[in-house]
Amino acid sequence: MATGTEPDLKSTGGVRGPARASIAAPHLRTDRWWLPPAATAAGLLAFVVYSSWRAFSDADYYAAPYVSPFYSPCLAESCAPMKAGPNWELVGSWWPLSPALIILIFPLGFRLTCYYYRKAYYRGFWASPPACAVAEPHRTYSGETRFPLILQNLHRYFFYAAMLVAVVLSWDTILAFRDEHYDWGHMGLGTLVFLVNIVLIWAYTLSCHSCRHIVGGKLKHFSKHPVRYRMWQWVGRLNDRHMLLAWASLVSVAVADLYVYLVASGVFDDPRFF
Amino acid sequence: MTTTSEPAASTSYTGHFRVWRGDTQGGELADFEVEVNEGEVVLDIIHRLQATQAPDLAVRWNCKAGKCGSCSAEVNGRPRLLCMTRMSVFTREETITVTPLRAFPVVRDLVTDVSFNYTKAREVPSFVPPPGVAPGEYRMMQEDVDRPQEFRKCIECFLCQDTCHVVRDHEENKGAFAGPRFLMRVAELDMHPLDAAADTGLDRKTTAQDEHGLGYCNITKCCTEVCPEGIRITDNALIPLKERAADRKYDPLVWLGNKIRRRGEQ
């Protein structure tokens, strides 16, 4: 059968197929292969639950000078007024839901189509495969050849959008060097939380495989493009830690939001350093 | 020679093995108790079984140095080279299960028919020599060949092909999907600084998707996990190839740029 032909979609048994070694067990692994996908699924699920609660709540997302990264930039008219902050009423007053839902589409799309997260949720949630050499439970498989998973190829566009969001979050971090009266030259614990978050957000965004491709990976001759080659090497070094940065930035963005929530809802006051 | 009894007792023990015995008609896991010595690898134990208990046990092997890629099998359910799997990674009480590669048709015992891979190898168009440059006159900068050279470390053990769930769990995909080893070969050629395939009308970026089934790969990285040569197949070959295919097929800006450039060339 030549490649490029349409596969017969009737499953033929996989590892328990008639021509394979007759072993009834779907796998013979003796290690705790289920632990990484289970931990991944639990971690992602925890973030989804937390971020959904916060995104839909439409409350306690601004405590001067801090704005939650889930609500920045705030594109609806219903947004809390933030002095010199990311209030851009592009969507207007007709938007009836939480303004976070407008902007979160972009970082969500970036992470959903990210090559690391794809591995994580294909394994953790869809068991495709659950672990290496562990038989998957699905009768048929078409991978990313069809709708909707063919849309994973749009990752680079979400990367561009995520860059813009990161620029706005960087501005928010600069604004965090004010106090609650909007006077410059101050710093609180929240500023530190925002600083750590924005460094991790940039590191994760720039370590993206699409970024690596765009800055230089697409070239055939590195020797003719020394600057792009150097950039490709830098991004490559970040890319080696893409999984770590994906998790670190996921946690940091949730912590930054939680910090704003706790301060805005009056649980504690932002400790000021100066 | 010193006569201490302690070292001898601690370096040799009886290991418990389950080895799949059978052929195309069927088979089962057979239990063996076999001597294991310090420093041995699983292939040593299989050879000892052949020498002492199962002279007709079929196993494919050659270099015993992790370079020929012959002794691929599954040890405790994980695709591995028998000659590179040290016995010291297992506890002495552990029962070690050795089976043939489970993605390919079995021939006998630990030997499988890996001809699927040779079929796929033939389907990848080979290197296209650059016009006007004679063999021996090829000159390339090291930074240009670093990427393809990583992929040349491949010993064709086919462990990546075996573990890839696209064909391991779905026999029906074997026609459409080349597997990680041969998609890596496509990437290697597409990144080769002197490959002139594009001049002949062969766009490897497009054919990776259309003819070799790149879209089936869902980048779950098992190929990288099992590679005994440590090649970063997913990050350095498959994902870059997916991005190159996206340039061609899913990026309207690149598509428009190519159209304009081609018009200018006419």
Please write the tens of the pLDDT for every residue from B167-198. 999 999 999 999 999 999 999 999 999 999 99
Q: What is the pLDDT of residue B71?
A: 98
Task: Give the closest-approach CA distance of B63 to chain A in angstroms.
Answer: 25
Cα angle: B156, vertex B160, B166; to 5 degrees? 130
- Residue of A219, A57, A191 whose CA lies nearest to B244: A219
- Contact B165/A136, CB-based, under 8 Å? yes
Structure tokens belonging to residue A182? 């909007």
- Tell me if B82 sits within 8 A of B42, measured CB to CB: yes
CA atoms in the 13 A half-sphere facing the CB of A84:
17
Contacts of A29 in chain B (CB under 8 A): 76-78
Contacts of A133 in chain B (CB under 8 A): 74, 77-79, 102, 162-163, 168, 222, 226
- B48 beta partners: none
Q: Is B218 helix (H, G, I), strand (E, B) or coil?
A: coil
Taking CB atoms and an 8 Å cut-off, how many pairs form between chains A and B? 189
- Contact B112/A21, CB-based, under 8 Å? yes
Q: Which of B78, B166, B172 sits opposite A133 (nearest CB)?
A: B78
- Contact B172/A11, CB-based, under 8 Å? yes
Contacts of B100 in chain A (CB under 8 A): 21
Does position A71 have pLDDT exceeding 80, yes or no?
yes
Residue of B nearest to A210 (CA): B243
Residue B113 to residue B91: CA distance in whole angstroms? 32
Residue of A nearest to B22 (CA): A21
- Contact B166/A141, CB-based, under 8 Å? yes
Q: What is the pLDDT of residue B218?
A: 95
Does position B3 have pLDDT exceeding 90, yes or no?
no
Helices A115-124 and A242-264 cross at an angle (nearest 10°) of 80
Q: What is the pLDDT of residue A97?
A: 87
Q: Is A90 helix (H, G, I), strand (E, B) or coil?
A: strand
- Tell me if A2 sits within 8 A of B78, measured CB to CB: no
Burial A181-190 (b: 16+ CB within 10 A, else e): eeeeebebeb
Q: What is the pLDDT of residue B9?
A: 55
Residue B101 to residue B163: CA distance in whole angstroms? 9
Kind of pairing, strands B12-23 and B26-37? antiparallel
For residue range B128-171, what is the model confidence (pLDDT) as tens digits?
A: 999 999 989 999 999 999 999 999 999 999 999 999 999 999 99
Q: Which residue shows structure tokens 């099998």?
A: B73
Cα angle: A104, vertex A108, A111; to 5 degrees? 150
Contacts of B210 in chain A (CB under 8 A): 4
Q: Is B30 helix (H, G, I), strand (E, B) or coil?
A: strand
Task: Give the closest-approach CA distance of A257 to chain B in angstroms.
Answer: 30
- Contact B218/A128, CB-based, under 8 Å? yes
Residue of A nearest to B226 (CA): A132
Best mutation site among A157, A215, A222, A231 for testing chain B: the one with the most B CBs within 10 Å?
A: A222
Contacts of B198 in chain A (CB under 8 A): none
Q: Is A223 helix (H, G, I), strand (E, B) or coil?
A: helix
* ipTM for the whole complex: 0.92
For residue range A113-140, what is the model confidence (pLDDT) as tens digits?
A: 999 999 999 999 999 999 999 999 999 9
- Residue of B63, B76, B58, B156 whose CA lies nearest to B116: B156
- Give the CATH number of domain B115-265; options: 1.10.1060.10, 1.10.10.10, 3.90.1310.10, 3.40.50.1980: 1.10.1060.10
0.90 surpassed by pTM: yes
Residue of A nearest to B27 (CA): A22
Structure tokens belonging to residue A107? 């970082």
- Contact B27/A21, CB-based, under 8 Å? yes
- Contact A119/B219, CB-based, under 8 Å? yes
- Contact B251/A156, CB-based, under 8 Å? yes
Higher pLDDT, B249 or A194: A194
- Name every residue whose Cβ is closer than 8 Å to that of residue B34 and which is 6 or more positions away in sequence: B14, B15, B17, B45, B48, B49, B52, B53
- Contact A13/B171, CB-based, under 8 Å? yes
A270 DSSP assignment: P
- Virtual CA dihedral for B41, B47, B52, B55, nearest 10 degrees? 150
Contacts of A28 in chain B (CB under 8 A): 74, 76-77, 97, 99
CA atoms in the 13 A half-sphere facing the CB of B17:
26
- Architecture of domain B6-112 in CATH? Roll (3.10)
